[in-house]
Amino acid sequence: MQILLLTSSARGHAIAESLSKSSHNPDIISISPRSNPGIKKIAKQEYVSDLMDFDSALDIAKKHDIDFAFIGPDDPIGAGMADALDSIGIPSVAPTKSLARVETSKAFTRNLLEQYGINASPKFMSFDRADPELLSKYIEQDLSGEFVVKYDGLRGGKGVKISGEHLNSTEEGVKYAIECIEECGQTVIEEKLNGVEFSLISFTSGTLVVDTPAVQDHKRAYNGDTGPNTGGMGTVSDANHSLPFIEQRHLDRAKEINRQVAAALQEQCGVPYKGILYGGFIITREGVKLIEYNARFGDPEALNILPLLKTDFVDICQAILTNSLTDDLVSFHEKATVCKYITPEGYPNNKDQKGQQIEFPEMPENAELFYGDLTEDSNGNLILGGSRTAGIVGIGDTIEEAQAIAQGLCEQVKGPVRFRDDIGTKELMQQRVNTVKHLFS
């Protein structure tokens, strides 16, 4: 079996690792914008190529007689890589360009939920006219100055700005909204939600949906959830596949929303969604609300989820493609995980450490190491890039145990790097529990 993996991060290393454990013993052919030392050890062949170079990807696929492709990142998915591969007879575990609008267009997703009566959105409105008076009136009168402005397209995780965090006034919000409209033709302005966030990622094949363990991401750069947003500094999952602050009714509602959206997408687009459907949710006083959807695995979330998978990942991928996905095909170990991302000391703003050497300790059986933005020189030394370097995942019976494993390994990493040592701690988790209790008190 020949599997084409298009990837660009530690998420890709985790996907490659999971595929390689299959009883099918597949040959993995990878395409990445830079060589990944972890994937290189797993793949039969690694190609370094721009993931948006569709012609090159199709040539590689033809050369290796690929059985199916797994597309990791958002950009090639959003641009229609699955459509391009399908045109030469290669199915992909990734949605078509039309279906991927669930991630690439915030307006499409909000309107989809509204059209199909899925009550999970905050108050919102999309705008395609750069009218300062109209924008200002909506922010002030309809949203009482508590608002979020969303770029209606992919922007590397930096397209959302929130009042009180990135925008300090209505005027700043209007200015950013106009910038979005001028760049991509549309913006979405919506009510700012207060609560606690979590992610629920589901394997999806049309209306067949099977969930993975719930995960919480920590996007802020520094301890105490302070500093600028990042791609994610770490993530937590619990042994019961929920989280300490999530009540069963909240998890059930998120699962219901994912199923409703999968069905709505199929009806709206006329073809089944085949791939990974990632819902970003928030528990509010009014119940569970949808923040946004992604059309692929999250990073770091994939680093928590995939190491827990007991069943064959290739079988799951094939079931997604053949519309034969069932709950029996998907089983996870009842373990907790804590992922902490190692980053350069100056991340996310200062890239002075780029090019310097980094060393990792040996990983025990209850931990995983997934390489991100680093390379290997001719002497076998690992060299820092400018972004998130590697995810270290501790696996234990409890979150506290998993945290201690990840923390101890992170402390042994040598080089000009840092990590958030509060992710997964009892204190930080209790804060989340207290916040949810306060919402309903």
| Domain match, 281 and 325 both | yes
Check which CATH number belongs to the domain holding 381 and give it: 3.30.470.20
pLDDT value at 329 more than 90? yes
pLDDT value at 366 more than 90? yes
Neighbours of 440 (CB within 10 A): 8
- Sheet of 160-162, strand order: 124-127, 187-191, 147-151, 160-162
The per-residue pLDDT for 423 is 98
| Domain match, 412 and 380 both | yes
Q: Determine, yes or no, domain membership for 437.
A: no
Q: CA-based diameter of the chain, in Å?
A: 62
Check which CATH number belongs to the domain holding 162 and give it: 3.30.1490
The per-residue pLDDT for 157 is 58
The per-residue pLDDT for 156 is 61
Q: What is the rounded distance in angstroms from the CA atom of residue 149 to the CA atom of residue 155?
A: 13
The per-residue pLDDT for 228 is 87
The per-residue pLDDT for 204 is 98
Long-range contacts of 116-122 (CB under 8 A, 24+ apart): 116/260, 116/263, 116/264, 116/267, 116/268, 118/257, 118/260, 118/261, 118/264, 120/257, 120/288, 120/289, 120/290, 121/190, 121/289, 121/290, 122/190, 122/191, 122/192, 122/193, 122/289
pLDDT tens profile 238-272: 999 999 999 999 999 999 999 999 999 999 999 99
The per-residue pLDDT for 125 is 94
| Domain match, 330 and 423 both | yes
How many structural domains comprise the chain? 3
414 or 228, higher pLDDT = 414
Mean pLDDT, residues 148-153: 90
| Domain match, 180 and 201 both | no
pTM surpassing 0.85?
yes
| Domain match, 226 and 373 both | yes
Say what percent of the chain tops pLDDT 70. Answer: 99
| Domain match, 231 and 324 both | yes
pLDDT tens profile 24-48: 999 999 999 999 999 999 999 999 9
In sequence order, what DSSP letters do the residues of 82-117 get, joined into one string? Answer: HHHHHTTT--EES--TTTTHHHH-HHHHHHHHHHTT
pLDDT value at 118 more than 90? yes
Q: Determine, yes or no, domain membership for 312.
A: yes
| Domain match, 323 and 405 both | yes
Q: Determine, yes or no, domain membership for 306.
A: yes
Mean pLDDT, residues 311-332: 98
The confidence band for 229, taking pLDDT boundaries of 50, 70 and 90, is confident
Instruction: Using the 3D structure, point to which of 48, 70, 94 is the last residue of a domain.
Output: 94
Secondary structure of 47-67 in the HEC alphabet? EECCCCCHHHHHHHHHHCCCC
Nearest to 236 by CA among 369, 403, 88: 403
Q: Is 433 helix (H, G, I), strand (E, B) or coil?
A: helix
Check which CATH number belongs to the domain holding 24 and give it: 3.40.50.20
| Domain match, 170 and 212 both | no
pLDDT value at 294 more than 90? yes
Q: Determine, yes or no, domain membership for 114.
A: no
The per-residue pLDDT for 278 is 98
- Does residue 306 contact residue 15 with C-beta atoms inside 8 Å? yes
pLDDT tens profile 199-228: 999 999 999 999 999 999 999 999 999 998
Q: Determine, yes or no, domain membership for 119.
A: no
pLDDT value at 316 more than 80? yes
- Does residue 195 contact residue 440 with C-beta atoms inside 8 Å? no
Nearest to 6 by CA among 65, 41, 54: 54
Mean pLDDT, residues 404-426: 98
Average pLDDT of the chain is 96
| Domain match, 215 and 340 both | yes
The per-residue pLDDT for 441 is 82
| Domain match, 173 and 286 both | no
pLDDT value at 197 more than 80? yes
| Domain match, 168 and 238 both | no
Q: Determine, yes or no, domain membership for 18.
A: yes
The per-residue pLDDT for 15 is 98
The per-residue pLDDT for 144 is 92
Mean pLDDT, residues 54-65: 97
Residues 6+ apart with CB under 8 A from 165: none
Taking phi first (over 0 means left), then psi (-120 to 50 degrees means alpha), and beta for anything else, what does residue 78 get?
alpha
Q: Determine, yes or no, domain membership for 121.
A: no
The confidence band for 158, taking pLDDT boundaries of 50, 70 and 90, is low
Matching residue, tokens 């006329």:
270
Per the structure, the complete domain to which residue 174 belongs is given by 129-185
Matching residue, tokens 């190692």:
342
Q: Determine, yes or no, domain membership for 123.
A: no
- Does residue 314 contact residue 26 with C-beta atoms inside 8 Å? yes
Mean pLDDT, residues 131-148: 93
| Domain match, 150 and 229 both | no
Instruction: Using the 3D structure, point to which of 163, 185, 207 is the last residue of a domain.
Output: 185
